[in-house]
Structure 1
Amino acid sequence: PRVTFEDSLEAMFKCPACNQVLNLKKNDKAKKAFAKKIDQIKNDMQQVF
């Protein structure tokens, strides 16, 4: 299961379910996709208002 950084820090970077060390998951692709979608929405809003 995915956990937040804060939760993983509290758990000493171990899985709360199995107690194994957590793996780092990079989410750069998701960040770029969200940023692109936000830009599209901003452009749409500027055209409306």
Structure 2
Amino acid sequence: MSVSIGISCLTQVGLADETFLDKLIEKADAAVYTAKSQGRNRTICSSDIY
């Protein structure tokens, strides 16, 4: 079994509108696909790819 994880962080409190949350999820999704493309058992933060 292996695990690939994408992490995205909320850096400003109070910006929880729908557009912001969509962007947060988009960044986490991109991070997990980057982790998967780099091999097994990876954790990637969205700040590492943007």
Interval containing the TM-score (normalised by the shorter chain): 0.3 to 0.5
TM-score (norm 1): 0.46
Of structures 1 and 2, the one with the larger relative CO (CA 8 A, separation 6+) is 2
Point out the structure with max Rg over C-alpha: 1
- Which structure has greater strand proportion? 2
Which has the larger helix fraction?
A: 1
